[in-house]
Amino acid sequence: MSVLVKKEEIRLLSGNEAISRGAFEAGVKVASAYPGTPSTEILENFVRYEGVYAEWAPNEKVAVEVAIGASMGGVRALATMKHVGVNVAADPIFTASYTGVRGGLVIVTADDPELHSSQNEQDNRHYAVAAKIPMLEPSDSSEAKEFTRLAFELSEKYDTPVFLRTTTRISHAKGVVRLDEPSVPAFAPGFTPDPAKWVMLPVNAKRRHVVVEERTKALREFAETWEGNRIEWGDRSLGIVTSGVSWQYVKEAFPDASVLKIGLAWPLPERLFLEFAAGVSRVVVVEELDPHLETHVKALGILAQGKELIPIVGELDPRIVRQAITGESIPARAPETVPSRPPNLCPGCPHRGLFFALKKLKVTVTGDIGCYTLATLPPLGAMDSCICMGASIGNAHGMEKALGPDGAGKVVAVIGDSTFLHSGVTGLMNVVYNRGVSTVILLDNDITAMTGAQQNPSTGKTLHGEPTRRTDLPALCRALGVEHVYTVNPHDMKRTEALLRREVARREPSVIITKAPCALLPEHRRQKRPVYEVIADLCTGCKACSRLGCPAIEWVPFTPDEAVAAGKKATQRGIARISPLLCDGCNQCPPLCKFQAILEKKP
Amino acid sequence: MSVPKGDVFLAGVGGQGTLLASEVLCDAFLLSGFDVKKSEVHGMAQRGGSVTTHLRFGPKVFSPLIEPGKADLLIAFEKIEALRFAHYLRPGGAMVVNAQEIFPPSVATGQERYPQDVAERLRAVTDRLHMVDALAAALSMREVRAVNIVLVGAASHFLPLPEAVYEEALKARLPEGIVDVNVRAFRAGRALLQPA
């Protein structure tokens, strides 16, 4: 599907869609990413433009290395990732700061204040300071597109990678964007050898460091005069320094205040800060997460308020900003108390079968990042740790070494297919190399599910939708030196449990691959599947099926009178019911019923 | 509601199609010349959990988030979700609530009952409460996935746009093969309520 280009066209785009549009208009030729909320849709949209190449890399480090290579090759290149992805990619990023670029190189970091779908809420503006890389920070979709275009221009003009930082409320908020024509590249692709620039031997890198410091000075001058850093004079009794989505909240809460809007989060404009502070009687810095602007404002000797008023945890909104600055508490209706509705594994999810079986073994489960992290919630409650992508295997090995012989057979690692290829492979290599005996369970659902069904090296398809050679997971595990590699269908919980018991007891490393497709895959949804029902007359209310935690299995409570009226003993507390709208026909629950009350529903 | 700006809060359960409903509403506002912003969350929150969309329209919209107590209209795809986010409604705001019950885990596993007093509690929040059975309307069209557009149809009475613009938005947004069923769903939803 190609996206039409008409002049003066207006679209409602998310920040992510706007970034892909901006990259297209900037003439980006190569883009690489690992999916991660809230960044995923950037590449999913970018790949639809004609004449571009985009790919899912196995992880963010590879994505940045690919983008650096493309930049060396003389084209504009983009790498996108969520905030924690920058941790993975930090190694090439810090040195790409020294080498600089040929074709413009932009790295998008999509931060997640409020941890809507993340394991921490780190503030990646610190990376701009630490890596000495300029960072643009848009305040809405329109700026997301414009700043993306500008990022490529700055990258080439100042010979530097450029960060573009969004937050969830930029990435996943939609706003009006005016489309423009794509620009024509200023130079032809081609690599010109230049070891002093590209080969970071210490002798070369030392000289490049000097270049980096000069560059930062030049960019600071740019920051002083660029219109994206601007003073909006209003009522001089209150001056607010802000950036990103916080600017929107400030404009909403204090439409009359004087505002210094910062569009370049690094390097920061010192003279502009001083001019603004001199023009207002009170300075407040409004920013989400860490006191980044505040620290630099205060370092100039400006008396400002910041984190003593504005929360450092979570995201902001106009109400929080208004209350924090005025000190007034605004009366509002208290939220009602209702049953909570946390996310859950989907009906028909193959992971549920595995975790149900795993829980029976009473082992410690080191977990990882993916839908399956939800198995930590009741009633499955079958995960004991989750740190970062790929951590499960190293965690299991470390715990096993800590516990000594007593720990053998008591710890297993659980990791998804995409997460394993992202950064679990080296962990497994380590288990084999260092004589571990861990059992690693590889949950292969044929897709990167959590982020919304992205392809990965083991699925056999590229981001462009082309067929490709699959990474053979069992062969990969064997190549790492694991002798015991077995595959099982996790919907068959009896088999899965037996295999788990056997391999957990084994005093050698083993890998169990639980293989069944994600229930949300279109290929799966198109298949004709049975629907199960609970035969009410046979149900004794034992709740054996409820312990699966399947959203399709509902509990219908009885009062003693209702129980009797239903032909049950007065002591029966209720019966189970299966929602025909939700049942996916996975056949996990029927074998759990000792009374054969769960049967396939006949049409 | 014939004011040129407003805040619409959508609440539902992951998988109910709140996202498409809000897309269609945004398109309709955009086609009508409004500035519009909407914000929602993707990823882990969508796996059967509570999901919300903040949709704001007007001559110029800044914040993509609605403040609690400021929404003019709450469109809830599920009863408990209406109650969970009822505090976002401004005094005197309107509520369009799908009568469907989707059990949260604690109810589905029998640890607590599905609240029996949702309607009364919602009525205590606003006297402009409109309960509709969008699921029944969708099922009668043999398309359970149309619940979302049925609700858009019912809620359209409380938004300052002409009926035709929603159908225009549906045609522009959806693949050709499902436009017809969704236009019918919109009309069925609109027929569930009387003009405000």
Give the contacts of B40 (CB within 8 A, at least 6 positions apart): A172, B18, B19, B22, B51, B52, B53, B54
Judged against a pLDDT cut of 50, whether residue B183 lies above it is answered with yes
pLDDT at A30 over 90: yes
pLDDT band at A602 (very low <50, low <70, confident <90, very high): confident
Closest by CA position to A103, among listed A24, A33, A187, A46: A187
Q: Do B36 and A174 touch (CB under 8 A)?
A: yes
- Reported as a single tens digit per residue, the pLDDT across B135-159 is 999 999 999 999 999 999 999 999 9
Mean pLDDT of A111-125: 96
Mean pLDDT of B51-76: 96
Residues pairing with B38 in the sheet = A174, B55
Tell me what the pLDDT averaged over chain A comes to.
96
Q: Number of folded domains in chain B?
A: 1
- Dihedrals phi, psi of B86, to nearest 5 degrees: -60, -30
Q: Is B68 close to A332, i.e. CB distance below 8 A?
A: yes
Domains A230-326 and A528-600 share a fold: no
Please tell me the distance in Å from A41's CA to the nearest CA on chain B: 10
pLDDT above 80 (res A466): yes
A369 touches chain B (CB under 8 A): no
Contact between B37 and A37 using a beta-carbon 8 Å cutoff: no
Q: Half-sphere exposure of A416 toward its Cβ, with a 13 Å CA cutoff?
A: 30
Candidates A332, A496, A507; CA nearest to A436 is A507
The domain covering A350-525 belongs, at the CATH homologous superfamily level, to Thiamin diphosphate (ThDP)-binding fold, Pyr/PP domains (3.40.50.970)
Q: Percent of chain A, pLDDT > 70?
A: 99
Q: Which of B45, B86, B106 sits opposite A116 (nearest CB)?
A: B45
Q: Which of B14, B62, B110 is facing A557, going by the closest CB pair? A: B110
Give the tokens for residue A31.
Answer: 């883009």
pLDDT at A1 over 90: no
How confident is the model over A200-207, as a mean pLDDT? Answer: 98
Q: How many CB atoms lie within 10 A of CB A119?
A: 15
Does A351 reach chain B within 8 Å, measured CB to CB? no
User: Looking at residue B44, what is its pLDDT?
Assistant: 60
If you measure CA to CA, which chain B residue comes closest to A173?
B39
Q: Provide CATH code, domain A528-600.
A: 3.30.70
Range with the lowest mean pLDDT among A205-209, A225-229, A343-347, B72-76? Answer: A343-347
Side chain identity, residue A67: A
Residue bearing tokens 């009387």: B194
pLDDT value at A214 more than 70: yes
Q: Which two tokens stand for residue A347?
A: 């009906």
Which pLDDT belongs to residue B43?
Answer: 61
Mean pLDDT score of chain B: 93
Determine the Cα–Cα distance for residues A327 and A321; give it in Å rounded to an integer: 10
H, E, C per residue of A449-496 = CCCCCECCCCCCECCCCCECCCCCHHHHHHHCCCCEEEEECCCCHHHH
A312 has a pLDDT exceeding 60: yes
Instruction: State whether A543 and B110 contact (CB < 8 Å).
Output: yes
Backbone angles phi, psi at A7, to 5 degrees: -65, 145
Residues A84-96 have a mean pLDDT of 98
Tell me what pLDDT residue B47 has.
Answer: 73
Asked if A276 reaches chain B (Cβ–Cβ under 8 Å), the answer is no
Distance (Å, rounded) from C-alpha A438 to C-alpha A392? Answer: 11
Is the pLDDT reported for residue B3 higher than 90? no
Residue B44 to residue A450, Cβ atoms within 8 A: yes
DSSP β-ladder status, A283-286 and A304-305: parallel
Order of strands across the sheet with A283-286?
Answer: A230-232, A257-262, A235-243, A283-286, A304-305
Task: Tell me, yes or no, if A583 comes closer than 8 A to chain B by beta carbon.
Answer: no
Q: What are the residues facing A12 on neighbouring strands?
A: A176
d(CA A196, CA A209): 12
Per DSSP, the residues of B86-107 read GGGEEEEEEEEEE------HHH
Architecture of the domain whose range is A10-225: 3-Layer(aba) Sandwich (3.40)
Percent pLDDT > 90 in chain A is: 95
Could you report the per-residue pLDDT of A134-161, keeping only the tens digit for each?
A: 999 999 999 999 999 999 999 999 999 9
Q: Is residue B170 part of a domain?
A: yes
Q: Do A546 and B110 touch (CB under 8 A)?
A: yes
- Structural domain spans, chain A: 10-225, 230-326, 350-525, 528-600
- From the candidates B5, B24, B42, B129, which should be mutated to test the interface with A, based on the most A CB atoms within 10 A? B42
Confidence bin at B196 (pLDDT 50/70/90) = low
**Cβ of residue A573 closer than 8 Å to a chain B Cβ:** yes
pLDDT at A408 over 90: no
pLDDT of residue A132: 98
Residue at B108 is within a domain: yes
Q: Residues B31-61: pLDDT tens digits?
A: 999 999 999 877 665 678 899 999 999 999 9
Task: Select the residue from B39, B101, B129 to test the A interface by mutation, using most A Cβ atoms within 10 A.
Answer: B39
Q: For the residues A352-381, what does the mean pLDDT come to?
A: 95
pLDDT score recorded for residue B46: 63
Q: What is the CATH number of domain A230-326?
A: 3.40.50.920
Taking residues A504-524, report their average pLDDT. 96
Q: Which of A340, A341, A373, A518 to mutate to test the interface with B (most CBs of B within 10 A)?
A: A341
Summarised one tens digit per residue, pLDDT across range A320-339 is 999 999 998 877 889 999 99
B183 in a structural domain? yes
Ramachandran region, residue A481 (left: φ > 0; alpha: ψ -120 to 50; beta: rest):
left
CATH of the domain at B74: 3.40.920.10
Angle of helix A202-225 relative to helix A83-99, nearest 10 degrees, comes to 110
B63: distance to nearest CA of chain A, Å? 5
Which helix (H) or strand (E) element contains residue A141? helix A141-158
**Domain carrying residue B114:** 6-192
Contact B13 A341 (CB under 8 A): yes
pLDDT of the residue at A334 = 92
Indicate whether A468 pLDDT > 50.
Answer: yes
Ramachandran class of A27: left when φ > 0, alpha when ψ lies in -120 to 50, beta otherwise: left
pLDDT tens figures, A528-547: 999 999 999 999 999 999 99
Cα A25 to Cα A144: distance, rounded to the nearest angstrom: 12
pLDDT of residue A407: 86
Q: CB distance B42–A117 less than 8 Å?
A: yes
- Does residue B152 lie in a domain region? yes
Per the document, the length of chain A is 603
Contacts of B115 in chain A (CB under 8 A): 338-339
Residue A70's identity, in one-letter code, is A
Contact (Cβ atoms closer than 8 angstroms) between residue A323 and residue A311? no
Cβ(B21)–Cβ(B189) below 8 Å: no
Contact between residue B99 and residue B77 where contact means Cβ atoms under 8 Å apart: no
**What confidence tier does A404 reach under pLDDT thresholds 50, 70, 90?**
very high
Average pLDDT score over residue span A440-469:
96
A325 touches A284 (CB < 8 A)? yes
Task: Calculate mean pLDDT across residues A479-497.
Answer: 98
Nearest chain A residue to B34 by CA: give it: A176
Neighboring chain A residues of B125 at a CB cutoff of 8 Å? 333
> Which of 529-568 (A) contact B at CB < 8 A?
543, 546-547, 549, 551, 553-555, 557
Whether B1 is in a domain gets the answer no
Which member of B30, B46, B110 has the closest CB to residue A12?
Answer: B30
Quick one: residue B114, left, alpha or beta (phi over 0 = left, psi -120 to 50 = alpha)? Answer: beta
Q: Measured between CA atoms, how close is B159 to chain A, in angstroms? A: 19
Per-residue confidence (pLDDT) for residue B2, from 0 to 100 = 44
> What distance in Å separates residue A251's CA from the closest CA in chain B?
7
Pick A388 or A406 by higher pLDDT.
Answer: A388
> Which tens digits make up the pLDDT trace of A157-181?
999 999 999 999 999 999 999 999 9
* Cβ within 8 Å, pair B87-A546: no
ipTM: 0.93
What is d(CA A138, CA B64) in angstroms, rounded to the nearest whole number? Answer: 14
The tokens of B34 are what?
């409004």
> Which residues between 24 and 63 in chain A have a beta carbon less than 8 angstroms from any beta carbon of chain B?
37-38, 40-41
Q: What is the pTM of this model?
A: 0.96
DSSP states of A288-348: SSS-HHHHHHHHTT--EE-TTTS-SSS---HHHHHHHHH-PPPP-PPPPP-------PPTT
Mean per-residue pLDDT, A67-91: 98
